Structure 1
Amino acid sequence: MFIIFLELLCVVPFQMEEEERKCKAAIEEAEKQYSEISSEIKDLDIKSKQFEELEESYLSISDDISPGRKRCSFGQDRSFPGCLSNVQVEWDEINAAWGQAALLLHTMAQYFSPKFQYRIKIHPMGSYPRVTDINNNTYELFGPVNLFWSTRYDKAMTWFLTCLQEFAEFAISLDRENNVPPEKSLKLPYKIDIRW
């Protein structure tokens, strides 16, 4: 009996050490999983905040651009003198302005044809002007447009500005040919920076 008791005394501590090792391994595994889950939660929190910011940005844009209206707000720098922020401009007015600008650019380009290479065609059609690019694709330069359907309108504006820039460069070179003094030569009031 004494021998059995001694064997139990030797076996029990060994079993306890084994149990302790298993518990420590289980604790380490749980801590590792906790760390991974915490990291995933932090990532999800960051993505959630980014999503909320995008949603707020979208909502503010959709408030500013609504069917039939476009808000004229050019920021604090007042890049365009005389424009008041938060002024509602109707699409009819915007379209009429584009129509007038298209008519003017078209008329000037036609007047200097064939000397001015008129690669981009401007089609002044009242309040519904269009622009044909160098690949013969035609885009509408009138609205209303919304956030999701503005690509064609954006391309029309970009091609219009490209044509305006080309005409300005042509007019400046014409002034140089005719020895017009630099202070009397054509100079656009704002730089045209087109990024494709």
Structure 2
Amino acid sequence: MSSTSFLCQRCNKPLKISQELWAMQRRSLEAQHHASPSPKMPVSGKLQARTSRRQHPDRGRTSQESACCTFTLLGEPSTQRTLDSIQNTILETFEIVSGQKDVEHPLCVDCMDGLLEELDAQLTLVEADNQKYKSFVERESLVSEEEREALHVELRAELQSLEQEEARLAQELKDMDQQHARIEAELKAAEAESRELEQQEEQHWKDYAALTMEQLELTDELSSLENRLAHAQGQLQYLSKTDILNITFTILDDGPLGIINNFRLGRLPRIQVEWKEINAAWGQTAFLLFTLSKIAGLQFQRYQLVPRGDHSYIKSLTDDGMLLLFSDGSHNVFYDNKFDRGMKAFLDCLQQLVKVLEKEEGIFLPYRIHVKGGMLEDATGSGECYSIRTHLNTEEEWAKALKFMLTNLKLILAWASSRYYCKT
């Protein structure tokens, strides 16, 4: 048995061909082989003969042979194939590929049953349509000319009505198209407006974020300013209760020498103070008297204080002379000098301030000042006087006079502190 396989046209399942069909096909091939010309015939002649046979495929065949050859075998595994069978196979393949021949494929039993059922259903539908057509023809033959004319009139009227309805619907469609175009234009305008609004919203949120950030920065700055203001107010309250004069100027008079801001004013044989320290003490003393005069609103007569540290001096307003409040120790104690005249002028300025305080505030100091002689008198004690000059004076008396002067300034300083700076 040949191993050539056939597939079903619909389900593509392999088909098992019966022995009778194989025998019929083998006889047909043998008949073709005996009827063919000798192998020495040219190929063109064989093709002509095959073509002539294809023009009359059923001539000389039995019904069984025609039935078994309604599909084409493309190959056989047998090695005894002739040149004619190979040419026939090639020619049939070419006709199939070129569309000159319709190929009929075999079907399996199940697919054949299904095909028959479909053909039965189609046949039933065709018979129903044929019956309807026959009944319509019979009914048409029974209708008279008047009825047919009336039916035509009715149909024409209905057709006219339908045409009018079609025209109306066409107009409505045109109107709908116009309305659709208008709505589409409005939609585009709305979309453009929506995009613009979205851009405005985005810009609004950007501005809002920027303003929020600015608000946060201003809030932080305000908080910082409030903290600084609270600190400044605390400092102001602290400073308002602080005696700035007592902090700036510290006078000690309980020792052998008067001391102002840790600088000793004066010297003794057993306590040799350098002149640089004495000059610095005189500068602090001049600055204190200058400050007290500003607090009391006093303008000195005849003199002008110029506090300049350890090189302070007093400027005379009468002869434009400069009276020194510093020395290097080289002055002659036996002659009147600018250092002595400067200390005497300082006593004159201090006496002017004391007179104002005695007149306006009723303050009396323990050491009376004698400007003309440059002396300070112990009014509440021994009543002795001590010169503030170095001319024909000893270091002990000069140091004591300077100490009395600082004591008077200390009392005036206490009055100024309680009068102008002590606030509770």
Give the TM-score normalised by the residue count of structure 1. Answer: 0.48
Determine which structure has greater relative contact order: mean sequence separation of CA pairs < 8 Å that are 6+ residues apart, divided by chain length. Answer: 1
Structure number with the higher helix fraction is 2
Structure showing greater radius of gyration is 2
Compute the TM-score of the two structures, normalised by the length of structure 2: 0.23
